[in-house]
Structure 1
Amino acid sequence: AAAVGTSAARHDRRAGGPGLLDALGWALDATLVLGGAVVVWVVCRRGRTENRLDRRLDKTLVRWLPLGALVLLALVLLYAGWSRPGWRSEGRLPGDATFGGIALVQGVLILGLAVVAHLLYRTSPDSRTAIRGFGGPAVAMLSCALGGVMTGGGAQRVSDWLDGSDGSIDGPALVLTWQASVIPPLLVVVAVLCGWFGFRTVQRKRREMDRMAADYPDERKDSTRTRRIAGTRARAALTDRAPLLVGIISAVTLLLGAAALTGAWVTDEVPAKAAGGLPDTVEGAAQASQALGSWLIGFGFILFVTWGRRAYKDPSARRTIGILWDVGTFWPRAAHPFAPPCYAERAVPDLTWRMASWTRATSATGGRLVLSGHSQGSVLAAAAAWQLRPSVRRRVALLTYGSPLERLYGRWFPAHFGPAALTSLHREVDCWRNLYRTTDPIGGPIQLHGDCGPQVDRAALKDPLAYGRTEEHPLPAPILGHGDYQADPAFAEERARLLARLKASVPPPRPEPTPSAAAQGAPEAEGFTPAPADPPGTAG
């Protein structure tokens, strides 16, 4: 509505414009400003608290916003379609000041966020924190850049299609054109980084091949098998280098975004004759960069749609998207107001209630419980254990495997899953054991340091379980990576050890008084029954 209405209103405000259309233009512009202010107010007001449910806003204003926007768009189309003799399209579409202002404000906010993040990191520095505390600003920079290049590249691509082969139109706002132009150099930086990480991965693969003899002694070596195992380990280690990749790309994106904003402002100030006097090589490079950027954005959009379509047919792609979805929707709506509702707000209280109920059901569980969590389930397990009462928490043991608690959550969200939080959880539960593999790209060790009880991490599990064929493994053992931790004998061993520890540390439950004892007037507190014969189950 703003793109269509402002162009027509600007024409009507010229000298000699019709009075009625001029008044309608001012009225529509005021309505657009008011509607934008209302939308910003609604967004800022939503999700600011997790303790109060605001139903009045949902039932009134928010539900009318989409209909109001459509009505406003229809009115603007009627206004812009009114007959204006002698008016023809020329020049660029409006929006240089608007898009430039948005980009400038985003850059200033991200720089402010970076300053705050640096100050917070200095109060509690930790070498494992992603990008030395700049993880939040870096991801915010990439998010703003993605929105900018999608807008600029998409507008540039559509303007090329509308241009045809007979004429030449200026197309979208100058800022969007510059944003599309910085995509090729950014992709060059990404390609160089990917090449560097690929080189380091090959080096790590060679080192892992040398270590294979120590991991599988007395085995007849097979070069193909060795390369496959070493390659899986080397690729899994790329997860630990992702913060460096994100940090470098974010910094380069900030610099290129500032260059695009400056270039749009300078180009707008340069007269047309001066701009036409640029060297042919410079002008050709600029046009090639713009065209390549717009085509790459169109290709990226098709790639996004194709990947979403592939998720319906390919289990591997569906699993990858599911992991990203789980991580994003784990946090409350205050962290992502436009995303789907937070499933942890339902899963964690339900899991907490079940744990408390099972520890009270002494006849079935003996008052003890092992909480088993894999991958994102280990994050839910930790969140649920934090919600328990201390008396209940002491009857619960944690068994995590393939857990991203420290490797991903602890590094990117140190305030909630950093060393201090995980150490306190280790001290408060009865015991905690963690299983991981060097071939797992997601899960990793917890790496708790200091005097906080028994060691959490077990030594890295072998993957595959057997190098060659054995009596226990007549077929070649598969490389499991992130899945099937229960297939490893270490899982059953650690679970049995946790159950035995709980059985020894938890006092036996108080039974109901026997009829004879009740008849003799024995007090209830005097009676005990043996622990249940059946071993308690594992909640996973």
Structure 2
Amino acid sequence: MELLVHGVGGTTPEKMLGDPRTVRVTGDDTAAVFRRAEDAGPPEAPDDATTGGRSRGEPVREAYVWCNLTSGNGSRALWLLLLPFMVVNLAHWMRPAAPDRTRTVRLYGLLVRLVALSLTVLLVAAACEVALDLVAWQCAGATACSGRHSWLAFLSPAGHGWWSAPGRRLALAALVPTALTALLWYLSHRTWSAYESHRPMARTPEADPNAGALASPGFWYGRRLGARLRAAHTAAGLLTVAAALTFPTLRHDHHPALLHTLGLLLGAALLGWALTVVLVVCRRGRSEARLDSRTDRHLVRGLPLGALALLLLAALYAGWSRPGRHSAGRLPGDPVFSTLMLIQGVLAVALAVVAYDLYRRDPDPRAAMRGLGGPAVALLACALGGVASGGVAQRVADWLDGTRSSLSGPPVTLTWQASAIPPLLVVLLATTGLLAARVARLARVERERVRDQHPGEPEDPARTRAIARTRAMAGLTDRAPLLLAVVAVTTLLFGAAALTGSLTTGLPPARAAHGADEPVRIAAETAQALGSWLVGLGLLLFVTWGRRAYKDASARRTIGILWDVGTFWPRAAHPFAPPCYAERAVPDLTWRTATWTERTGGRLVLSGHSQGSVLVAAAAWQLTPATRERVALLTYGSPLERLYGRWFPAHFGPDALAALHRDIGPWTNLYRRTDPIGGPLRVPGEPQVDHEPLADPRAYGRTPEHPLPAPILGHSDYQDDPAFARARAHLLARLHPGLPAQRPADREGEEPPD
């Protein structure tokens, strides 16, 4: 049998199997295995007792369709707004390979979890800044601003209503960040139940240490850590809202002494509970060596409930009547955002030190950025969170106040962060220009190679240029580490400059540059204005793209591709990241492969394209050694080494792939030089895994076999290449041809399917 697994973007079982009539063998509407109707047999027959494929001398083919795990629902397009959480979760899995440095590996995971926790606090603090400071404190407290927005009339002091008291306005506005935190908790809990709660097959751990964590029984079941992190991040969000209510009010409460004392006690309780949250995040990482189904029920329930109780007390404390209090200026938010920015920078630098220490112990020349990819990605996540927070705050302030300058505006730190976007874009455009020049040079070199590969054929300059340009563009994938390095270094430098500028001047960039030279002043004003508009435009494009996905299937598939790549890994660092589809797909493939081989004793080829090749490799790691020997791998257009091996060396590095090659049955990998995603696996050992590069296009000019111009396929249509059928037949021939026949318990008179 051949079990086909599609790649990014998804497809239909009819297209995978080449037949308009398909039936579902097992699975549900989210992910399922399909066969052609003629291979399925009568309804009363077991799914492995079929004859359709054998009558043609071919293996029975099944298609595992998992696209609905990522792009089936249009509402999932709005998960683009959780991009910083997804990015920081990737940083957890990008550490260098260091099997003998257990403590350092744990420290790496701890630092990433702390960065992820700071992002949650940053998001909720930004929501508090918009709702509590800009809307309830500044705009509702200023008659000129509230008069322009009728929906704020009941909060205005001019109306002398019950909600016009500053503390009560703050308590009411706190519902917005509280609802945001509750929504994130709900989405995290709901998606875990829908996608990640499927238990893998129970088995003993691998004896081979080189097999890596992907062979561990508990790798694809992070229930315990997920529940702990979800409780801790929810509590952190609620405590952030409570702190936004308590500490500004405490600054006002010097008299009467009773309220001041209550405020001090409440502030101490908030700090103590926040320390508990940090300890919970630091206390335990992933437990992969065994299938851990515990949930720490008391901790999971008690941590957010305690934070919610403190939030209610903070709302009562802030809303208590204080006749002499009025809103002026802005709430003290600058120290919060400056401290968060400093903490994130220190954590990113510490993470880089730890990652380099891991890398130098066992250097891998193919690892991206010399093992510093994880810290760079973590820094990028912090930059995305900070820039989005600053841009949204600035845009809301401009919308509320216009050009009348009746509001103090957002904290200076956020304005400086948003102002860093234009110079960062200039650096990115310059780097893109350099990469474009490199592509042009590579294309000229490739034109000579194309001519040399087709001697004696009439020269077609346009055809030669098209092939050479496609090969050169495909090589850009290998330059991604350079682009990320430039972004990370630039982000760190501009972030440090923004933090220094906000702390030293205490003014927005445009006002801080008033006394400077004319070019400096114009540059500062332009950066501040463009920064807020660019972030607002980016968020508008995200929301528009998400709304379009409800009606446009092609847009939904495009968005799904982003999540296919970014959400393969479990939520080990941030529980509010989009769900991991592999925690459903890998157990599905493992169960199907193991149960079919046990029932039939037949030969099975796991055939994966693109991201599907990563899934079949992960499923093969989860099989028992005895089952693994009876399974062959056929990968094509595979990013296993080119992307995953370079960016995630601890899990897909050369040692891990070599260990899988030793334990699995025969393995063949197909690739093209024009493919921007797939590539050779470079797995050491015999027999060789990598097939020679497939010709693309299959014919340079017109031939009797190709009377019309053959297309340049790149990453698609590998199964249509004649080399695919030859490779599959070769694998089946090499896959233990002397295996015993089907067991007596199966249907009598039938041979085991191939």
Do Structure 1 and Structure 2 share a fold, with TM-score over 0.5? yes
| Residues 426 and 453 in structure 1, CA contact (< 8 A), matched pair in contact too | no
For residues 483 and 77 of structure 1, the distance between their equivalents in structure 2, rounded to whole angstroms, comes to: 61
Report the Cα distance in structure 2 between the residues aligned to 1:178 and 1:163, rounded to whole angstroms. 19
Is the contact between residue 49 and residue 334 of structure 1 (CA under 8 Å) also seen in structure 2?
no
CA separation of 1:60 and 1:512: change in aligned 2, threshold 3 A: closer
Residues 88, 383 of structure 1: alpha-carbon distance in 2 compared, 3 angstrom cutoff: closer
Secondary structure of 1:398's partner? strand
1:232 Cα deviation after fit = 2.4
* Residue aligning to 1:54: 295
Change in 2 beyond 3 A, CA 1:438/1:268:
same
Q: Distance in 1 between the 2:727 and 2:715 partners?
A: 18
1:189 to 415, 422, 427: 427
Shift of 1:489: 0.8
Counterparts of 1:311 and 1:321, CA distance in 2: 8
Bigger mean CA deviation after superposition, 493-502 or 258-267: 258-267
| Structure 1 residues 178 and 510: CA distance shift in structure 2, 3 A | closer
Is 2:675–2:715's contact at 8 Å kept on the other side of the alignment? Answer: yes
Q: Which runs of 5+ in 2 are unaligned?
A: 1-240
- The match for 1:494 is 727
Report Cα offsets for 1:243-284 as digits up to 9, x if no partner: 1100111011111111111222211399xx998644454344
CA deviation after TM superposition for structure 1 residue 154, in Å: 1.8
Q: How far did 1:214 drift?
A: 3.4
Distance 1:41 1:358 in 2: 45
Q: Structure 2 CA distance, aligned partners of 1:209 and 1:139?
A: 36
SS in 1 for 2:332: coil
**Correspondence 1:220-299 to 2 at 5 A:** 220-268=458-506, 277-299=515-537
Q: Determine the C-alpha separation between the residues in 1 that align with 2:633 and 2:649.
A: 20
Provide the aligned length of Structure 1 versus Structure 2. 506
Report the Cα offset of residue 360 of structure 1. 2.8
Mapped partners of 1:231, 1:275: distance in 2: 46
Cα displacement string for residues 409-438 of structure 1 (whole angstroms, at most 9, x for unaligned residues): 100111111011111111222211001112
Provide the alpha-carbon RMSD of the alignment: 3.4
Aligned-pair distance for 1:150? Answer: 1.0
Give secondary structure in 2 for the equivalent of 1:371.
strand
Evaluate the alpha carbon distance shift between residue 435 and residue 275 of structure 1 in structure 2; reply closer, same or farther with a 3 A threshold: closer
Output the TM-score relative to the length of structure 1.
0.83
Q: Say whether residues 1:454 and 2:687 are aligned partners.
A: yes
Q: Aligned partners of 2:353, 2:481: CA distance in 1, in Å?
A: 18
Taking structure 1 as reference, are residues 376 and 58 closer, same or farther at Cα in structure 2, changes over 3 Å only? Answer: farther
Report how far residue 208 of structure 1 moved.
2.4
Partner of 1:408: 643
Task: Note if 1:345 corresponds to 2:586.
Answer: no
Q: CA deviation at 1:404?
A: 0.9
Query: Bigger relative contact order, structure 1 or 2, given CA contacts below 8 A and separation 6+?
Result: 2
Kept in 1: contact 2:594–2:623 (CA 8 A): yes
1:172 aligns with 2:410: yes
Change (3 A) 1:275 1:288: closer
Q: Which residue of 1 aligns with 2:656?
A: 421
1:172-222 deviation per Cα after TM superposition (whole angstroms, max 9, x unaligned): 222212212222211111110011111111222222233222344554444
- Range 224-233 or range 96-105, more displaced: 224-233
Q: Hey, what's the Cα distance between the residues in 1 that align with 2:245 and 2:742?
A: 76
8 A Cα contact 1:42 1:62, kept in partner: no
User: What one-letter code is carried by the residue in structure 1 that aligns with 2:683?
Assistant: L
1:316-355 alpha-carbon deviations (Å, 9 max, x no partner): 5444432332333322332442224433333323322322
Q: Secondary structure at the match of 1:361?
A: helix
What CA distance in whole angstroms lies between the structure 1 residues aligned with 2:619 and 2:413?
A: 48
The secondary structure found in structure 2 opposite 1:434 is strand
2:713 match: 480
Aligned to 1:209: 447
Note closer, same or farther for the CA distance 1:53–1:499 as it changes in structure 2 (3 Å cut): same
Q: 1: distance between equivalents of 2:693 and 2:705?
A: 21
Query: For 1:92-171, what aligned pairs fall within 5 Å after superposition?
Result: 92-167=330-405, 169-171=407-409
Report the equivalent of 1:199. 437
AA paired with 2:602? G
Distance 1:69 1:303 in 2: 37
Q: CA deviation at 1:477?
A: 2.9
1:377 and 2:612 equivalent? yes
The 1:84–1:512 alpha-carbon spacing in structure 2 relative to 1, beyond 3 Å, is closer
- Alignment check: 8 A CA contact 2:451 2:464 kept: no
Taking structure 2 as the reference length, the TM-score comes to 0.61
Whole-angstrom distance in 1 between the partners of 2:744 and 2:395: 77
Write out aligned runs for 1:35-114 (5 A).
36-37=274-275, 40=278, 48-50=286-288, 51-54=292-295, 56-57=297-298, 60-61=301-302, 64=305, 71=312, 75=316, 78-79=319-320, 84=323, 87-90=326-329, 92-114=330-352
Find the structure with the greater CA-based Rg: 1
The alpha-carbon distance between structure 1 residues 321 and 61, as it changes in their structure 2 partners (threshold 3 A), is farther
Provide the rounded CA distance (Å) in 2 between the counterparts of 1:274 and 1:349: 57
CA contact (8 A) 1:427 1:453 kept: no
Rate the CA distance shift 1:316–1:133 in 2: closer, same or farther, 3 A: farther
1:482-535 deviation per Cα after TM superposition (whole angstroms, max 9, x unaligned) = 22211111110100011111254x44448659xxxxxxxxxxxxxxx99x8676
Answer yes or no: is the 8 Å Cα contact 1:153–1:294 preserved in 2: yes
Residue by residue over 1:365-419, the C-alpha shift from the partner in whole angstroms, topping out at 9 and shown as x without a partner, is: x532211111122112112222222222222211101111101110011111101
Query: Percent identity between the aligned chains?
Result: 60
Deviation at 1:57, TM superposition (A): 4.7
Could you tell me which residue of structure 2 aligns to residue 522 of structure 1?
none
Q: Which residue of 1 aligns with 2:563?
A: 325
Q: Distance in 2 between matches of 1:315 and 1:215?
A: 40
Q: Structure 1 stretches of 5 or more lacking a match? A: 514-528
Local SS of the residue matching 1:355: helix
Distance of 2:555 and 2:652 partners within structure 1: 28
Matched to 1:255, the amino acid is L
1:388 aligns with 623
Give the Cα–Cα distance (whole angstroms) in 2 for the partners of residues 290 and 269 of structure 1. 12
Please identify, of 153-162 and 487-496, the stretch whose mean Cα deviation from structure 2 is larger: 153-162
Show CA shifts across 1:131-173 (max 9, x none): 0100100000100111111112222222233333333544222
